[in-house]
Chain A
């Protein structure tokens, strides 16, 4: 019996380590369904506050945004505090117009300042928005800053 345990130990000794180097060698383990950072389509949002009402962590506040939004006369949009958010996707489920959706951007990607990722600094994005005459964009808002993210085409 003791010999068997020893042999099993040897088997694992010569195996490749199970540990993965995330994010140095391998990307974060996400799947198609991974619930990560939110995206808000501001052209669809009607400012009904349902997402704010349903949020279990009280992470959503409504922010007033200046601009021409025909479907949103009050011009209020949900801002999500990612320090509180539990990523339960109840706000996405409850949204009557389908304006909120979720990406698979989680964990490391959300906090990084690395320019290789798809998260860009709010200042760059704001500058890019100012250049376009008819900006087609989605917005997510955190506690401190407004983070704009351009809508991916196609």
Chain B
């Protein structure tokens, strides 16, 4: 039979195998995937431009919204960049509480990803369990911050409200409800023979190649490289907490799954250490920043000229925010660097080029990379 030409099909954005609001153009030869091209832009809202048209402290409301699944780490990145520009340091209590909130966000993001991963592999029982565990964290968020998904709890200079009186008990109770479910998922899903057969040896990105492909986060750590911004360049309260960086050895899809599960345990460890250090009666949780103008003037009394930069370890990798101020009430420029873009472009291309993968493997590889389409589009 004559060699046929590759056939192009669209995967997504409404396909259960697609990670959300992105599509792929997939070229197939029979069942084999020859090439996959990312089609982003379905969720482009122009955050960088929108942020230029709002006040410094108002942009906090926009900053979590470019990644639905892991809002607080991105909020923290923006807040840290603004603090860097204005030369303000948040009080110790605010730093600790922000770290707890960011770690909770990491746990809920990984649980959300577990739902996708279970869906992609056809393990229909996992989404229900993972979302039930995530719900406990969302309830905790509602109790502490007042909202479930986008919290707007941080602000340049601290946190917006004091923590509730029974913060420690509520936090530990939420963790104690989540962790047994994570353990069950680990037993029933991660060590499951079917999942191992479908994920082991697939989507291998190993060693230094991951650095060259610009991958960060769990994908990089599963490749065997011990890199975590929380350890390399500690921010907030990560300096004085004791935790490990889980790494993989093979760099395949299964390693990435295991690394994320182990990260949930490490996040729990961080929260348990930090929760002892915050006291609700301590009222020093917010420093007044020179942001608000007196009501009679349309511009602030103090404005900054310069730039601020921050980077944080979000659930999907390194997020960076660069802000430029020109003595104005509003930022001159906000540049967001988010972790998901390389995962679906360079890493995906590398995997497809170096491996024989079929159309059935594609959703598993995409989900194991855990991209967040909103932060690609912004």
A contact set with B: CB distance below 8 Å: 1-2, 4-5, 8-9, 11-12, 18, 29-35, 48, 50, 54, 56, 86-90, 93-94, 96
Contacts and interface: CB of A to CB of B under 8 A. Distances in A.
B357 interface: no
A56 B58 contact: yes
Given A2-B192, A33-B146, A93-B160, 5 more contacts: A1-B193, A2-B193, A9-B188, A56-B61, A89-B160
Of A11, A34, A48, A56, which is in contact with the most chain B CB atoms at under 10 Å from its CB?
A56
B146 A29 contact: no
Nearest to A87: B147
Secondary structure dominating the interface of A? loop
A4 B188 CA distance: 7
B191 interface: yes
Contacts of B187: 4-5, 8
Interface in B135-177: 135, 139, 142-147, 150, 152, 160-161, 164
A54 B55 contact: yes
Interface stretch (B14-22, B125-133, B244-252): B125-133
B142 A31 contact: yes
A29 B184 contact: no
A89 B58 contact: no
Given A30-B142, A33-B161, A9 B125 contact: yes
- The number of chain B residues touching the other chain, given as a range, is 20 to 34
B192 A89 contact: no
B295 interface: yes
B292 interface: yes
Given A8-B184, A12-B129, A94-B292, A33 B61 contact: no
Contact of B144 (A5, A9, A18, A33): A33
A41 B130 CA distance: 43
27 contacts: A2-B192, A2-B193, A4-B187, A5-B187, A5-B189, A12-B125, A12-B129, A18-B132, A18-B135, A29-B139, A30-B142, A32-B164, A33-B143, A33-B144, A33-B145, A33-B146, A33-B161, A34-B146, A35-B146, A48-B295, A56-B58, A56-B59, A86-B61, A86-B150, A87-B147, A88-B152, A89-B160
